[in-house]
Amino acid sequence: MFKNCLENVRNTVPLVHCITNYVTVNDVANVLLACGGSPIMSDEPEDVTDITSICGGLDINIGTLNKRTIEAMKIAGKQANSLGHPVLLDPVGAGASALRTNTSNDLIRDVKFACIRGNISEIKTVANGSGTTRGVDADVADTVTEDTLDKAVQFVKTLAERLDTIIAVTGAIDLVADKDKCYVIRNGRPEMGKITGTGCQLSAIMTAYLVANPDNRLEAAAAAVALMGAAGEIAYGQLTETEGNATYRNRIIDTIYRMDGETLEKSAKVEIC
Amino acid sequence: MFKNCLENVRNTVPLVHCITNYVTVNDVANVLLACGGSPIMSDEPEDVTDITSICGGLDINIGTLNKRTIEAMKIAGKQANSLGHPVLLDPVGAGASALRTNTSNDLIRDVKFACIRGNISEIKTVANGSGTTRGVDADVADTVTEDTLDKAVQFVKTLAERLDTIIAVTGAIDLVADKDKCYVIRNGRPEMGKITGTGCQLSAIMTAYLVANPDNRLEAAAAAVALMGAAGEIAYGQLTETEGNATYRNRIIDTIYRMDGETLEKSAKVEIC
Amino acid sequence: MFKNCLENVRNTVPLVHCITNYVTVNDVANVLLACGGSPIMSDEPEDVTDITSICGGLDINIGTLNKRTIEAMKIAGKQANSLGHPVLLDPVGAGASALRTNTSNDLIRDVKFACIRGNISEIKTVANGSGTTRGVDADVADTVTEDTLDKAVQFVKTLAERLDTIIAVTGAIDLVADKDKCYVIRNGRPEMGKITGTGCQLSAIMTAYLVANPDNRLEAAAAAVALMGAAGEIAYGQLTETEGNATYRNRIIDTIYRMDGETLEKSAKVEIC
C-alpha cells in the first residue's frame, strides 16, 4: 500500500546523496525534506565516495553535467552499488546532445540502477542508445496517450527486463514498471510542466522512497510518482487567480510536506497492467 | 505593438539556451516558462554546441563565470551566430573585476550579439572596455535620471551603432536602443532591486522575445523590458504588509505567467526618442 | 544593543562576497538583501581577488566544495585578511567526508576567521581536526540541551580562545562566544530544520553584521543569530494550515526584510554566560 511506503519514509528519514543540476537543486533539497527524507549534495570526485557511503541512496541527475560531475557520478554510482544502496538515474536531456546521450549510456553500462526515470523521449533514448529530443521536454510525437498506452506499457516492461531495473516514464500518463508489472498513474496537472524541475524533484523523492522500502521497491517508486501527481492536483486547487508557476511550485512542495498516507491513498489514481 | 511581441512568444514557445549564473538560475528558468518560452541550461564546452543548435536563441550571463563556462560561452556564442540565432549578453559585474571586464570584451569581439543588457555601470564598462563598479549594482554616480536622460539616450544610441547591436540599460529609467531609435521606459519599482536576479530574469525574457520576433527585434526587446517593469508594479500592489522580497519575487514571476497582451499594452509607460 | 547592530547594517549596506554552495545560494542572496546587505557571488580563483577587494566581508561556505572553489576560498580568504575584512567560515559537512574535514582544517590554518559558524557536529570536527557526522545535520548525540549547556558553553569559549575567533554553534539552543563571553540564544523553531539552508542564510547575515559593526563583533554575531531565530518564530506564526516548508522559507526571508530594531530587541531571548 502507498500509505505504508509514505510512512516508511517519514519514519526512517532516508539520507539521499544527490548529484543533480544546479537549476533545480534547491527545490530538490526542499522537496526531499518535505517528503520526510534528508538531502546531501556533493559532486566533487574526491568527495563523493565518503558522502555516498554515509547515505542510504543516490540520485544521479545529468541536467547540467560537466566533465567533473560526470566523473563524480561514476565514482559515486559504483560506491553506492558496492554498498547495496539504491541508485536512480534521471537522464535529463538524453537525446538532446551527444554528451548527454553518451553519459547516460556510460552510466547504465557501469552502474547498476534500481530505477531510471525520465520523460518518454529520454527513456526512448535510453532504450535505443541514441535519440533526438527537443531540449528537456518530451517530444509531442512520443507522448504516452490512452491510444498508445498498451504499446507504451509493453515498451517499459521490456526495457525494465533488459536493464533489470525499474523504468519510470512520466508525462500526462505515468508508467512505473518492472518486467512483470506496470503501474499506470493518472495523477498530475499539465500546468506542472510550467514549473522547472518537477521531474528532478520527483527523481529525488523516488530515491528516498526506494531507500525506505527495500522490500517493496516497485510499489514505492509508484507511490512516489502518485505523491507528486496528487500534490500537483491538490496544490493547483489552492491557486488564486493572481498566482502562477512560482507560487504553484511552492504550493506543491508545501502539499508534499503536509501529505499523509490516507490522503495519498485516497488521491492516487492507479491501475496495474 | 508590444501586444504582438508578447503573443508571438506565447504562440511559438521559443527554446532558449542559457549559460547563466547559479545564483538566479532557477528563477531564470521559471520566468522563461512564465513568459511562454522554454529554458535549457548547459555550460559544459563539450555539450553546448549540440544544445544551442536545438534552441532558438542564446542568453549569456557572466554572473558566476569560471574558466570552463567562459570557454562554453565562446563556443556556444559562435555556434549560435553560425545558425543565425539571436544571442544576448548580460555582462554581470563588468567593471567589478578584470576577469569580468576582459570576458565581456572578449565575448563582444568574438561573438555577434543581438542585444547587450546591463545596468549603466556595466554598459559604460562595455563602452570603455574598462571600468570600476561597486559589485553587481549600478554606481549611484552613473544613474540615469530625468536630468541626464538626453545624454544617456545619445550614449546608448552611439554605442548601439558602434557595436551594431541593441543596447539595453536598465535602472530607474530603462533605455532600449539601436542606432536610430531609443525606447525610454518608466515602468518598474525600486523594490525590485531588493530581489536578486531581476536583471538576469529580464535578460532571459528578452532573449525569448528576440527569438519570437525576428522582424521586430528592437520593439521586442523593449516589450520585454516593459513586461518586467509592469509585472513589478502589479505584483507590488498585491503585497501584504507582512510580505517582503522573497514573496515579491514569486509574485513577479506569477504576474508574468498571467500577463496578456492587452494588460502589457495598457501598463507600458513608453516614450520613443 | 541588537537594535543598533541591525540599524548599522541597514544604514551602511555592507557588500558581502559569498563563496557558497549552489544548493541554497539564491536564498543566501535574497536574505542578504532582506537584512540590508548586498551580495556578490564569485568562486573562480582568477576572479575572487578583485571581487573580495571591493567588498566589506567574505562568507566562505564549503557546502558543495570542489577543487576549483577550494582554491578560490583560500585566495579570497588571504586577500580579505590582507585588507582587514572580516571572514566567516561555515564548515558544512565537516566530519562527513575527509575532503570537507581537511578543507576546513586547511582554511583555519591559512585564513584568519572573524567567526566560525556551524552545527555542533561540525564545530566539534573543527575542534578535533577530525570527526564523523551524519550528513549535513547535527548528530543527535551531540545536541546542545539544557542539561549539557554548561559544558557546551565552556567548550565554545575554549575553542574561541584557541582559534582567536568567534565561535557560533546553532541548534535548538544557539551559542555565540568569544573566549570571555557566550551569548545563549533560545529563539527559533524546530521546523526551520525542514528548510534547506537556514544555516547558510544565517552565515551570510552574520557576515553582513560583522562588516557593519566593526567595534562590536561578538554582539553583532549574536544579533544576527537572534534575528534569524526571531524571524523563524514570527514567520511560523503566519503559516496557514496548507503551508509547509517552501512557503515557510519565503516567509522567513520576508520577515527579515520587514524586521526593525525594536522588534528584534523585543523578540530576542538572550542570556549571557
H runs (alpha helix) in B164-197: none
Q: Does B33 touch chain A (CB under 8 A)?
A: yes
Residue C135's pLDDT band (cuts 50, 70, 90): low
Query: Which residue in chain B is spatially nearest to C69 when comparing CA positions?
Result: B66
User: Which chains are adjacent to chain A, needing at least 3 Cβ pairs under 8 Å?
Assistant: B, C
pLDDT of A132? 72
Burial of A82 (0-12, 13-18, 19+ CB in 10 A): exposed
Asked if C21 and A41 come within 8 Å (Cβ–Cβ), the reply is yes
Contact yes or no for A154/A201 (Cβ under 8 A): no
Mean pLDDT in residue range C150-176: 97
Asked if A247 and B254 come within 8 Å (Cβ–Cβ), the reply is yes
Nearest-by-Cβ selection for C47 from B27, B99, B197: B99
pLDDT in tens, chain A (273 residues): 999 999 999 999 999 999 999 999 999 999 999 999 999 999 999 999 999 999 999 999 999 999 999 999 999 999 999 999 999 999 999 999 999 999 999 999 999 999 999 999 999 999 999 887 655 666 666 788 999 999 999 999 999 999 999 999 999 999 999 999 999 999 999 999 999 999 999 999 999 999 999 999 999 999 999 999 999 999 999 999 999 999 999 999 999 999 999 999 999 999 999
Mean pLDDT in residue range C227-232: 98
Residue B143's pLDDT band (cuts 50, 70, 90): confident
Q: Measuring CA to CA, which residue among C195, C250, C201 is closest to residue C227?
A: C201
Q: How far is CA B268 from CA A7, B224, B234, B253, B264, in A?
A: 51, 10, 12, 17, 6
Residue B84: how many other CB atoms lie within 10 Å: 8
Asked if B97 and C41 come within 8 Å (Cβ–Cβ), the reply is no
Q: Measuring CA to CA, which residue among C172, C262, C273, C179 is closest to residue C225?
A: C172
Q: Does A102 touch chain B (CB under 8 A)?
A: no
Q: Does B238 touch chain C (CB under 8 A)?
A: no
User: Which chains are adjacent to chain B, needing at least 3 Cβ pairs under 8 Å?
Assistant: A, C
Residue A94: how many other CB atoms lie within 10 Å: 33
Q: Does C166 touch chain B (CB under 8 A)?
A: no
Gap between the terminal Cα atoms of chain C: 17
Asked if C46 and B23 come within 8 Å (Cβ–Cβ), the reply is no
pLDDT of A134? 59
For residue C68, the distance in angstroms to the closest alpha carbon of chain A comes to 10
Query: Which residues 204-233 of A have a C-beta within 8 angstroms of B?
Result: none
Q: Does B47 touch chain A (CB under 8 A)?
A: yes
Mean pLDDT, chain B, rounded, equals 96
Contact yes or no for B27/B201 (Cβ under 8 A): yes
Nearest-by-Cβ selection for B134 from C15, C30, C254: C15
Q: Tell me which chain A residues have a C-beta less than 8 angstroms from the C-beta of C97.
A: 42, 47, 50-51
For residue A29, the distance in angstroms to the closest alpha carbon of chain C comes to 6
Asked if B257 and A245 come within 8 Å (Cβ–Cβ), the reply is yes
Starting from the edge strand earliest in sequence, which strands make up the sheet with B270-272, in order?
Answer: B38-41, B15-19, B57-61, B87-90, B115-118, B166-169, B174-177, B182-185, B270-272
- E-only strand ranges, C91-190: 115-118, 166-169, 174-177, 182-185
H runs (alpha helix) in chain A: 2-12, 25-35, 45-54, 67-82, 98-110, 120-128, 149-163, 198-212, 217-238, 245-258, 261-267
Mean pLDDT in residue range C46-63: 98
Query: Amino acid identity, residue C198?
Result: T
ipTM rounded to 2 decimals:
0.96
pLDDT of A142? 75
- Give me the count of residues in chain C: 273
Q: Does C106 touch chain A (CB under 8 A)?
A: no
pLDDT of C142? 76
> Residue C259 is placed in which grid cell?
524586521
Q: Tell me which chain B residues have a C-beta less than 8 angstroms from the C-beta of C50.
A: 96-99
Q: Tell me which chain C residues have a C-beta less than 8 angstroms from the C-beta of B136.
A: 40
Query: Which residue in chain C is spatially nearest to B248 when comparing CA positions?
Result: C254
User: Which chains are adjacent to chain C, needing at least 3 Cβ pairs under 8 Å?
Assistant: A, B
Strands B174-177 and B166-169, by their bridges, are antiparallel
> Residue B151 is placed in which grid cell?
545624454
Per residue in C12-28, pLDDT (tens digit) is 999 999 999 999 999 99
Asked if C99 and A47 come within 8 Å (Cβ–Cβ), the reply is yes
> Residue A221 is placed in which grid cell?
517508486
Query: Which residue in chain B is spatially nearest to C46 when comparing CA positions?
Result: B99
Q: Does A54 touch chain C (CB under 8 A)?
A: yes
Quote the pTM value: 0.97
Q: What is the dihedral of CA B196, B202, B208, B210, to 10 degrees?
A: -150
pLDDT of C268? 98
Asked if C64 and A43 come within 8 Å (Cβ–Cβ), the reply is yes
